[in-house]
Chain A
Amino acid sequence: MTRNYSTTILAFLVLTMILLTFPSQVRSAETQDSIMVAQVGSGVIGSVKNNPEEYADDEFSEDMWGDSEHHEEAYASDPWQGYNRAMFKFNDYLYFNIMKPVTQGYMYVMPLRPRTWTNNFFQNMLYPVRLTSCLLQGKFYTAGAETSKFIANSFFGLGGLGNITGEAVSTMPLYLGNEDMGQTFGVWGIPNGPYFVLPFFGPSTIRDSVGLGIDTFVLNPFWWFGIPWYYSASAGAYNQINKLSFHIGEYESLKEGSIDPYLALRDAYLSYRARQVQDAKIDPNRPKPQMTTNPDAAPEK
């Protein structure tokens, strides 16, 4: 009698293990139908989330694309709108009256190539920021790629001035983009918190501001080795100007097309960050595009 009983328990345990190791939600790439398989662990069965068929009838819903999570991440809580709008105006004034003319002057004196070298140099110096965040997010292949890039560029690329390795390429799928602490917190599931416009730095959130603080003062080598703060700060400002020289015109075009630039920038920042947090992998084995445009086409006569 006892023997039978233990066999039942054993069978139950084996069955549970099989069910637990089985993927709880299988998503077919073609149909995008989510097929629920038993979620034994929690005992939740059949809670269909993001089923596209459910939403397609609602003509205003965008939930069918499976990026509601992304939208949630980009949802703005903005309790300090009065302060934020004032700071937005201040930054806007600063941009058009100081940053932009200075950068344009700098671009006039400094040709594109040295500006690229400077950019490479700073990018290389800030390797600890990216490495730390990659490791903390468990993106080990990307951390490896960053490390080999850092070593190659430091030793063979004239201390980081050159970018001899180009974009990181690996046979393993890598994550796109520059990782930072704000993204790391996001990956850990810490929400954005209220939207918060920083003086000089522009749009941010509470989470990203904390991340930026850690990135700047703890992980940035310019603040190590007892370098006086005014040197570190000037280097940082110079990096910003140099970076901006590659992006002049982007803020203008966003502002030009908007009827409320503050809200437009807020949404753009939050959406962009949400995408960075849930960043896509670069898949080296990605299938070739199904078709491309012909850049030399002329109208038929």
Chain B
Amino acid sequence: MTRTLSIVTIVVLLCLSAGAGFAAENSPMVRLRSGIQGVIAILNDPELKGNPARQAEMNVKIRETIKDFFNFEELSKRSVGRPWLQFSAEEKEQFVELFTDLLEQTYLGRVGEYSGEKVAFDKETIIKGKYAQVDTRLLTGKQDIPVFYRMKLTDGQWDVYDVKIEGVSLVKNYRTQFTGILDTTNDKTFEASKKELFKRLQTKVTELKANSSATAENGTK
């Protein structure tokens, strides 16, 4: 009798845990946590940590991990706003590439400033089954910094398309800049301003790359 009871209990427990696992599998919060955890794991890797010679390798690894749970296409699209619909397929591709480069060059260096802070995941809000916001806090010891991640479900996976810190949204900040450059009065001005936008992005990326390689050289000396 006790044996059957314990078997039943175990089976019920197994079912429950399996159910919980299934429910959590496609949760934006779980996905975001595993993504951020992946970056932390690379930063903590004893073989790469504090080894300037393998800094480049570490950056590549971090970049791959971030690309996995960030949707740079959606991020680019929303940063441009409605004019995005008038971009040709090639232009879209080129833009995503340039903009991703720009963000990587700017923020990858800052990731290295991580020094064991914890990230707390407070809440997830799903809207229409397609969009989600995950409220997190970076626990710095002195003060918590609230960071909101906005995610979109594409091909069955939740990917980040916007990050909001201290009220400042990444997408909106760049949209302000891009709309300041793109002139949609007529086709002619739009074409010209689009060229200008690509040129400026290109210049910025080249500048940032030159800077980062300069600091990397200084670091190894």
Across the interface, do A267 and B172 meet the contact criterion of CB distance under 8 Å?
A: yes
> Which single residue of chain A is at the shortest CB-CB distance from B106?
A257
Which listed segment binds A: B1-9, B114-122, B186-194?
A: B114-122
Closest B residue by C-beta to A276:
B167
Given A290-B29, A292-B120, A263-B176 contact (CB < 8 Å) = yes
Asked if residues B168 and A258 are in contact (CB atoms below 8 Å), the reply is: no
Instruction: From the candidates B40, B119, B128, name the one contacting A53 in the complex (CB within 8 A).
Output: B128
Q: Which residue of A lies closest to B126 (CB)?
A: A32
A64 vs B127: C-alpha distance in the bound complex, in angstroms? 8
Contact of B177 among A32, A62, A260, A275 (CB under 8 A): A260
Closest residue of chain A to B152 (Cβ to Cβ) is: A59
Question: How many B residues have CB within 8 A of the partner chain?
Answer: 56
A290 to B77, CA, bound (A): 31
**Set B81, B118, B133, B204: member contacting A292, Cβ < 8 A:** B118
Q: Which single member of B33, B42, B84, B127 contacts A293 (CB below 8 Å)?
A: B33
Q: Is B181 an interface residue (CB 8 A)?
A: yes
Docked Cα-Cα span, A266 to B45, in Å, equals 39
Q: Are B177 and A263 interface neighbours, CB within 8 A?
A: yes
The docked-state distance in angstroms from the alpha carbon of A56 to that of B143 is 34
Q: What is the interface size of chain A, counting residues whose CB is below 8 A from a CB of the partner?
A: 46
Q: Which of A243-280 contact B (CB under 8 A)?
A: 253, 256-260, 263-264, 266-268, 271-276, 280
User: Is B208's CB within 8 Å of the partner chain A?
Assistant: yes
Q: Which residues of B contact A52 (CB under 8 A)?
A: 127-128
Residue A71 interfacial (CB < 8 Å): yes
Q: Can you list, as one digit per residue, whether each of B182-221 has a CB less than 8 Å from chain A (1) or not (0)?
A: 0000000000000001001100100010000000000000
Contact status of A295 and B118, CB under 8 A, knowing A60-B78, A266-B176, A276-B167 = yes
Complex-state Cα separation, A59 to B44, whole angstroms: 38
Is A228 among interface residues, defined by CB-CB distance under 8 A?
no
B46 contacts chain A at the CB level, 8 A cutoff: yes
Known: A52-B128, A70-B167. A293 touches B172 (CB 8 A): no
A76 at the interface (CB under 8 A from B): yes
Interface string of A29-68 (1 = CB under 8 A from B): 0001000000000000000000011001001101011000
With A53-B128, A267-B172 already in contact, the answer to whether A298 and B201 are too (CB < 8 A) is no
Please name 14 further chain A to chain B contacts, defined as beta carbons within 8 Å, in addition to the given A59-B77, A292-B118, sorted by A numbering: A32-B127, A56-B130, A60-B81, A167-B143, A256-B106, A257-B103, A257-B107, A267-B177, A271-B169, A275-B166, A293-B37, A293-B118, A295-B116, A296-B44
Q: Can you pick out 20 interface pairs between chain A and chain B where the beta carbons lie within 8 Å of each other? A: A74-B167, A259-B177, A259-B201, A263-B177, A263-B180, A264-B176, A280-B146, A289-B121, A290-B121, A291-B30, A292-B121, A293-B36, A293-B37, A293-B40, A295-B40, A295-B118, A298-B45, A299-B41, A299-B44, A299-B45
6 tightest A-B CB contacts, nearest first: A275-B167, A257-B106, A289-B120, A56-B128, A267-B176, A295-B116
